[in-house]
Structure 1
Amino acid sequence: MPAPASPRLVALDGLSQIIGEGRMLSEITSDPVWQDLTPAERATAQRLITETLRYLGRADHLLTPHLQRQPPLRVMNLLRMATVELNTGGAAHGVVNEAVKLAGRNKKTAPMKGLVNAVLRRVTEQEPEAWADAPDTLLPKWLRPKLAKAWSKPVVAQIERAHAVPPPVDLSVKSDAAGWAEKLEGTLLPTGSVRLSARGQLSALPGFETGDWWVQDAAAALPVQLLGDVAGKRVLDICAAPGGKTMQLAAKGADVTALDISEARMVRLTENLTRTGLPAATVVADALTYDDGLFDAVLLDAPCSATGTIRRHPDLPYIKSQTGIDDLVNLQRAMLTRAVQHLKPHGTLVYCTCSLLREEGEDQIKWLLSQTDAVEVQKPVAPGLDPDWISPEGGVRLRPDYWADSGGMDGFYMAVLQRKADPAPE
Structure 2
Amino acid sequence: MSDISGLPARRAALQMIDAVLHRGETLETVERNALRRIRGPADQALARAIAGETLRWLTDLDMMIDSAMKKPLPHDAKPRSVLRLMLAQWLRLDTPPHAVIATALPLLTGGPRRLAHGVFSTLNKRDGLVLPDIPTLAPEVEFRWGDRADAIAAGIVTPPPLDLALKDWSQTEERAEAMGGISLAPGHIRLPRGTPIDQLPSYKDGDWWVQDLAATLPARLLGPGAGKRVLDLCAAPGGKTMQLAAAGWNVTALDISERRLDRVRQNLERTGLQAEIIKANALTWRPAKQFDAILLDAPCTATGTCRRHPDVVHRIGERQIEEQAELQNALLERAVEWLPEGSTLIYAVCSLESSEGEAQAESVNLAPVPITSEELPGGLEPTKDGWLKTDPGMLADAGGLDGFFVGRWRK
Tell me if both proteins adopt one fold, taking TM over 0.5 as the criterion: yes
1:84 paired residue among 69, 88, 97:
88
Counterpart of 2:397 in structure 1 is 405
Deviation at 1:403, TM superposition (A): 0.8
1:379 paired residue among 357, 370, 392:
370
Deviation at 1:165, TM superposition (A): 2.3
In 2, the alpha carbon distance for the partners of 1:272 and 1:91 equals 43
Q: Is residue 2:93 matched to residue 1:98?
A: no
CA contact (8 A) 2:90 2:97 kept: yes
RMSD of aligned alpha carbons = 2.4
Counterpart of 1:422 in structure 2 is none
Deviation at 1:330, TM superposition (A): 2.7
Q: 1:45 to 1:118 in 2, by over 3 A?
A: same
User: What is the identity, as a one-letter code, of the residue corresponding to 1:52?
Assistant: T
Greater shift after overlay, 215-224 or 157-166?
157-166
Q: Summarize the alignment of residues 165-244 of structure 1 with structure 2, pairs less than 5 Å apart.
A: 165-175=158-168, 176-190=171-185, 192-244=187-239
CA contact (8 A) 2:123 2:129 kept: no
| Cα deviation digits, residues 379-401 of structure 1 (max 9, x gap) | 32454346863223321111221
CA contact (8 A) 1:293 1:342 kept: no
CA contact (8 A) 2:162 2:195 kept: no
Counterpart of 2:143 in structure 1 is 145
| Cα deviation digits, residues 345-366 of structure 1 (max 9, x gap) | 2221111111112221122222
Deviation at 1:224, TM superposition (A): 0.8
In 2, the alpha carbon distance for the partners of 1:407 and 1:126 equals 33
Q: Summarize the alignment of residues 18-417 of structure 1 with structure 2, pairs less than 5 Å apart.
A: 18-31=20-33, 34-40=35-41, 41-71=43-73, 73-87=77-91, 88-104=93-109, 110-126=110-126, 130-133=129-132, 136-138=135-137, 140-148=138-146, 152=147, 155-175=148-168, 176-190=171-185, 192-288=187-283, 289-369=285-365, 375-381=366-372, 383-385=375-377, 389-417=381-409
1:15 paired residue among 5, 14, 17:
17
| Cα deviation digits, residues 251-273 of structure 1 (max 9, x gap) | 11221111001111111221222
Q: 1:212 to 1:89 in 2, by over 3 A?
A: farther
SS at match of 2:294: strand
| Cα deviation digits, residues 90-120 of structure 1 (max 9, x gap) | 233212211122224xxxxx32323323333
Deviation at 1:192, TM superposition (A): 4.4
In 1, the alpha carbon distance for the partners of 2:10 and 2:262 equals 32
Q: Across the two proteins, how many residue pairs are aligned to each other?
A: 401
Deviation at 1:203, TM superposition (A): 1.6
CA contact (8 A) 1:355 1:361 kept: yes
CA contact (8 A) 1:399 1:412 kept: yes
CA contact (8 A) 1:191 1:384 kept: no
Q: 1:197 to 1:324 in 2, by over 3 A?
A: closer
CA contact (8 A) 1:217 1:409 kept: yes
| Cα deviation digits, residues 255-303 of structure 1 (max 9, x gap) | 1111001111111221222222221111101113231311111110011
CA contact (8 A) 1:137 1:164 kept: no
Greater shift after overlay, 278-287 or 1-10?
1-10
CA contact (8 A) 2:172 2:186 kept: no
| Cα deviation digits, residues 325-345 of structure 1 (max 9, x gap) | 333223222222221233332
Q: 1:119 to 1:242 in 2, by over 3 A?
A: same
CA contact (8 A) 1:58 1:136 kept: yes
User: What is the identity, as a one-letter code, of the residue corresponding to 2:80?
Assistant: M
CA contact (8 A) 1:61 1:135 kept: no
Deviation at 1:147, TM superposition (A): 2.4
User: What is the identity, as a one-letter code, of the residue corresponding to 1:74?
Assistant: K
User: What is the identity, as a one-letter code, of the residue corresponding to 2:238?
Assistant: G
User: What is the identity, as a one-letter code, of the residue corresponding to 2:264?
Assistant: L
Deviation at 1:3, TM superposition (A): 6.4
Deviation at 1:242, TM superposition (A): 0.5
Greater shift after overlay, 8-17 or 36-45?
36-45
- Unaligned runs of 5+ residues in structure 1 are 105-109, 370-374, 420-426
SS at match of 2:355: helix
Greater shift after overlay, 15-24 or 114-123?
114-123
Q: 1:126 to 1:230 in 2, by over 3 A?
A: farther
In 2, the alpha carbon distance for the partners of 1:156 and 1:343 equals 37
CA contact (8 A) 1:294 1:344 kept: yes
